[in-house]
Structures are given as C-alpha cells and as structure tokens.
Amino acid sequence: MKRITAPWLWLALLPWSLASADLPYTFKAGDPIRASELNANFQYLESLAASGSDVALTRRKTSMSSGGFRDVVTVPDTATNGWLLRSYVTGCGSEPILRIDDDASFTMDRDAVLLVRPGETLRARCPVSATEISTVGYFMFHEQ
C-alpha cells in the first residue's frame, strides 16, 4: 500500500477542537499515514455528526487553482450564528488565500477560527506560487 508522507495535510484535516478526542488515529509531524487510517478518522467524525452529538461538522470540497477564487460555501441565512471554519487542506503546496464575499483576501493562521456569517460566501484560491495548476481543497466547518 502506498504511504503518503505529507503530515501537514493530515493534521489539517482534523478539526482542532477534536484533536484530543477519541479519534482512531492521531498523527504528528513526520508520521507516514495510510489512506485507511485517514478514512477511519473521517468515518469517526461522520458518526459523531450522525449520532446527534453536539459537534456538527460539515465538510465542503472545491476545486482550486491560482487563477481565481472559487466558492467554498455560502452559509445559509437560516444558520443563526454562522459557521466556524475549523480546518482545511489543499494541494496548493502552501496556505490557500481566502476571501469572504468580495472583501479583501487573506491567509489564515492554522490556530485561528474563522466565522462565516449567515448569507456570506467563503471563497478560496491557491497562491500564485502554487506548485499545482489545479487541485482540490477540503474545508471543515462547525455549524453554529
């Protein structure tokens, strides 16, 4: 089985608020990770959401490039307090550039939490220095 050794990729997939939870697998920088281990963690997170736990997680996928911003999510107007961006991972090769609606773009500190308010749209793109022309991004939200 092919092993992937991009630890930032896997750590980024885990919501920071659940990093110490009972995940089947935890990783640290430099650890090789198998796809089956990552899938087991996703199944665990999905089971939390399905069980009616207080942790409501939403994962959004978008295609990305350095050519322009792509919509990640538009938070429904019915979301009383908005959605918190807890974690993300992209194949950009570096931090993605984010923008809410048409506001100024920014990069986000991995330890920060971003609130996307009801009716707002989070957009993302790879930096111009990205190693990939086109890639996929996954964004994990905690619904408020």
Q: Domains of the chain, with CATH numbers?
A: 7-50 (no CATH), 57-143 (2.60.120)
Mean of pLDDT values over 45-51: 61
Going from the C-alpha of 74 to that of each of 14, 71, 118, the distances in angstroms are 22, 8, 8
pLDDT digits (tens, 9 = 90+) for 22-33: 567 766 666 777
Average pLDDT for 11-31: 53
| pLDDT over threshold 50, residue 72 | yes
Q: Name the most confidently modeled range: 9-13, 82-86, 91-95, 129-133.
A: 82-86
CA separation, residue 102 to residues 8, 73, 91 (Å): 29, 14, 24
Q: For residues 16 and 101, what is the distance between their CA atoms, to the nearest angstrom?
A: 25
- Read off the pTM: 0.61
Q: Which two tokens stand for residue 120?
A: 């707002």
Percent of the chain as helix, strand, coil, to the nearest 5: 20, 35, 50
Any idea which residue has 């990305």 for tokens? 64
